[in-house]
């Protein structure tokens, strides 16, 4: 019987690998004979009616392994973990800040070794860093892969180190077929917070989860972030409408408008070019992007428009400053070099 169960788990693992090429596996199944609990919805108060300051904290196995891919050595690396994708989908909707939870002691590169370590762990791991100025956030999203029907121990550490009792907490997770397990109730118990209905999805389905994320956020009362200023990108006879977000970097960029840029196509995923002028303020840096995103690269003082291959990770930091609201797919049909006028909408 045990051999049959092991055979079935192996087949499921291989099918998951084939259906989501190169995506690091993050979800850990329960041990044999462990009761599987149904997805649980935490008791919650009335949903929040508007976004104030949002933090999206998440733990990803792909970002906590011994030999992480050297992003500096390549323009792109392996696909982000399932939870990382979900976190940035939430950020796209809420315009919240991202915080990746990193453990001091890294997990093995071999997935079965990670499973064995998780099943034998008896203490919570120490974390590399803490959230700066936690008081500024009203709503905290907590993301994780489900490990043995519950949260990874790194999430327990995060919840124990941060007082979230006066916050609104929103769990989200990826799983391998067993759902959220008892993870929602664990988060509610450890945080002591008003905990909204969570989001749980198969790890193999996260790559196409943006619409599902948006519907869930709307259902639980999270309003979509509004942008401060509409702008236009004029490319010959084509006019793309876009919005700049409410960040210090976007406001600095706005001061430089209007301006014309020569943008070059790269990797069939982006157009980028140098900005006339400089941006001196800092912003939330990241190494991935979503289709339709507009970003600023502080290392090269460049402007970029992203239109495809959002599954790729980048070799240098970018800062999101806005997004295109028109059909960005038209960018796929353009030449390798284009002249773009970026201006405020009249």
pLDDT for 30:
57
| Sign of the CA dihedral with 313 first, then 310, 111, and 182 last | positive
pLDDT digits (tens, 9 = 90+) for 68-97: 543 333 333 344 689 999 998 998 899 888
Which tops the pLDDT comparison, 122 or 34? 122
Please report, rounded to a whole number, the percentage of residues in the chain having pLDDT higher than 90. 61
DSSP 338: E
CB 129 within 8 A of CB 102: yes
Buried b (16+ CB within 10 A) or exposed e, 157-194: bbbeebebeebbbbbbbbbbebbbbbbbbbbbebbebb
Cα distance between residue 44 and residue 169, in whole Å: 10
List the one residue out of 255, 253, 198, 225 whose CA is nearest residue 83.
198
Domain boundaries, the chain: 20-219, 229-344
Supply the DSSP string of 276-327, one letter for each residue.
SS---S----BS---TTEEEEETTTTEEEEE-S-TTPEESS-BEEEEEE-S-
pLDDT for 53:
86
Q: Which two tokens stand for residue 10?
A: 């192996």
CB 62 within 8 A of CB 81: yes
Q: Which two tokens stand for residue 151?
A: 């949260």
Decide if pLDDT at 128 tops 80: yes
Q: Can you tell me the mean pLDDT for 142-166?
A: 96
Which tops the pLDDT comparison, 52 or 264? 264
CATH class of 229-344: mainly beta
pLDDT for 109:
86
Band (308; pLDDT cuts 50, 70, 90): very high
Decide if pLDDT at 98 tops 50: yes
Mean pLDDT of the chain: 83
What is the homologous superfamily of the domain 20-219 according to CATH? Answer: Flavodoxin domain (3.40.50.360)
Band (307; pLDDT cuts 50, 70, 90): very high
Band (311; pLDDT cuts 50, 70, 90): confident
CB 270 within 8 A of CB 304: yes
pLDDT digits (tens, 9 = 90+) for 279-306: 988 888 899 899 999 999 999 999 999 9
Phi then psi for residue 182, to 5 deg, are -100, 15
3-state secondary structure of 343: strand
Buried b (16+ CB within 10 A) or exposed e, 15-38: ebeeebeebbbbbbbbeeeeeebe
Q: Which two tokens stand for residue 168?
A: 């609104």
Please state, in angstroms and as integers, the Cα–Cα distance from residue 255 to each residue in 227, 241, 244, 301, following that order. Answer: 16, 18, 12, 15
> Which range (27-41, 112-126, 145-159, 208-222) has the least confidence?
27-41
pLDDT for 269:
95
pLDDT for 27:
62
DSSP 345: -
Band (24; pLDDT cuts 50, 70, 90): low
pLDDT for 68:
55
Band (42; pLDDT cuts 50, 70, 90): very low
CB 154 within 8 A of CB 125: yes
Please state, in angstroms and as integers, the Cα–Cα distance from residue 308 to each residue in 10, 131, 201, 280, 333, following that order. Answer: 33, 32, 23, 29, 12
Band (181; pLDDT cuts 50, 70, 90): very high
Indicate the pairing of strand 319-324 with strand 238-244.
antiparallel
Band (60; pLDDT cuts 50, 70, 90): very high
> Which range (35-49, 191-205, 228-242, 299-313) has the least confidence?
35-49
Decide if pLDDT at 243 tops 70: yes
């Amino acid at each position: 019987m045990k051999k049959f169960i092991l055979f079935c788990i192996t087949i499921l693992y291989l099918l998951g690998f084939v259906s989501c090429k190169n995506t690091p596996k993050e979800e850990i199944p329960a041990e044999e004979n462990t009761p599987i609990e149904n997805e649980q919805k935490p008791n919650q108060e009335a949903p929040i009616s508007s976004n104030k300051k949002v933090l999206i904290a998440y733990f990803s196995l792909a970002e906590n392994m011994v030999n992480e891919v050297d992003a500096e050595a390549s323009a792109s690396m392996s696909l982000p973990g399932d939870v990382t994708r979900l976190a940035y989908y939430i950020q796209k909707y809420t315009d919240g800040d991202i915080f990746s939870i990193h453990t001091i002691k890294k997990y093995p590169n071999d997935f079965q070794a990670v499973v064995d370590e998780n099943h034998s762990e008896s203490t919570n791991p120490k974390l590399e860093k803490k959230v700066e100025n936690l008081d500024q956030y009203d709503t905290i999203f907590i993301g994780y892969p489900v490990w043995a029907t519950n949260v990874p121990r790194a999430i327990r550490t995060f919840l124990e180190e941060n007082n979230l009792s006066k916050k609104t907490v929103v769990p989200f997770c990826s799983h391998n077929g067993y759902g959220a397990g008892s993870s929602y109730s664990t988060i509610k118990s450890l945080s002591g917070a008003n905990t909204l209905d969570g989001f749980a999805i198969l790890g193999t389905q996260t790559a196409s989860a943006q619409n599902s994320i948006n519907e869930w956020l709307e259902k639980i009362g999270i309003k979509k972030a509004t942008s401060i200023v509409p702008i236009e990108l004029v490319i010959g006879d084509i006019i793309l409408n876009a919005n700049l977000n409410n960040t210090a970097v976007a406001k600095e960029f706005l001061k430089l408008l209007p301006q014309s840029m020569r943008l070059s196509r790269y990797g069939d995923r982006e157009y980028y070019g140098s900005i006339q002028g400089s941006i001196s303020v800092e912003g939330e840096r990241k190494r991935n992007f979503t289709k339709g995103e507009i970003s600023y690269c502080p290392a090269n003082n460049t402007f970029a428009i992203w239109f495809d291959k959002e599954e790729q990770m980048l070799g240098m930091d970018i800062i999101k400053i806005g997004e295109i609201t028109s059909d960005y797919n038209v960018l796929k049909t353009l030449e390798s070099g284009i002249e773009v006028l970026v201006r405020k909408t009249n």
